Structure 1
């Protein structure tokens, strides 16, 4: 006698990442980019002994554009 099959098959596990994990990962990525830019800018301003934090401001401006580019690429990338 053959064993009986369960009446409903198990649902297949979806290999896609859950949306909240994807978006929280993007948030941490943006925080890391901004934090790295701020830290690097402060170190460069201290090294060059600037009264006005030009390196920090410049690197943070670049980091804003870099993080926005990263978010846009991540959101539009189809797997």
Structure 2
């Protein structure tokens, strides 16, 4: 007979404790990714249009901040 691979109570508690850390670190990486994409896209648009002032970069970063804050609020208020 083969032993059953039942999770023990301790391993179940450890996985439940690690779940919030994974969720919040994922949110942080998501926010960083949104900001980086907005900055890179803004720089390319500013270079394409030849802007002396980086209006596209500033605008896209403001939109990225609003979008990432919205995603954080939705994620934190969502019931699991």
Secondary structure of the corresponding residue to residue 34 of structure 2: helix
Aligned to 1:36: 37
Higher helix share: 2
Report how many residues are paired: 70
Per-residue deviation at 1:39? 0.4
Partner of 2:12: 13
- SS at 1:59 equivalent: helix
The structure number with the bigger radius of gyration is 1
What corresponds to 1:64 in structure 2?
65
Instruction: Quote the offset at 1:13 in angstroms.
Output: 3.1
Q: TM-score w.r.t. structure 1 length?
A: 0.80
CA distance in 1, matches of 2:27, 2:44: 26
CA RMSD of aligned residues (A): 1.6
Q: Which runs of 5+ in 2 are unaligned?
A: 1-7
SS at structure 2 position matched to 1:24: helix
Q: Which residue of 1 aligns with 2:48?
A: 47
Deviation at 1:18, TM superposition (A): 1.1
The two structures have a TM-score, normalised by structure 2, of 0.79
